[in-house]
Amino acid sequence: EPEVTQTPSHQVTQMGQEVILRCVPISNHLYFYWYRQILGQKVEFLVSFYNNEISEKSEIFDDQFSVERPDGSNFTLKIRSTKLEDSAMYFCASSEARTGAYEQYFGPGTRLTVT
């Protein structure tokens, strides 16, 4: 069964450094998402992406964040200058169509630790 993959599984970085989290969505899916989950808290939506542009974004997704689909398979989340509070599990997801009625397929996550 096709699945969403993410790399790395764990990233440790120092405050102020840039990080790039990578995802490979399911190949025939058209919509891509990033979520984060701070330990013990809710799964929070960050951004959705379709046709090479952002569809929706939350208030969390400020100027420090950016997303890109640099080629036909990868989908990346960049944090320009990490803060301690960015420490969380970051999940990538994809869906066949807009997620109104379509379920999302999630990757295993990248645990980001900012020290």
Q: How far is the CB of 80 from other proteins (least distance, A)?
A: 23
* Residue 25 binds other proteins (CB under 8 A): no
For CA atoms 78, 22, 41, 57, the dihedral sign is positive
- State the nearest-atom distance from the C-beta of 84 to other proteins, in Å: 22
8 A C-beta contact, residue 19 and residue 13: yes
Residue 108 makes contact with other proteins by CB under 8 A:
yes
Angle, CA 40 vertex, CA 37 and CA 41 arms, to 5°: 50
Chain residues 47-106 in contact with other proteins, contact rule CB under 8 A: 48, 55-56, 91, 93, 98-101, 103-106
CB of 26 to other proteins, least distance (A): 12
* Amino acid residing at 86: D
Task: Give the nearest distance from C-beta 36 to other proteins in angstroms.
Answer: 11
φ and ψ at 86, to 5 degrees? -80, -10
DSSP H or E run through 12 = strand 10-13
Interface ranges with other proteins (CB under 8 A): 4, 6, 33, 35, 41-45, 48, 55-56, 91, 93, 98-101, 103-109
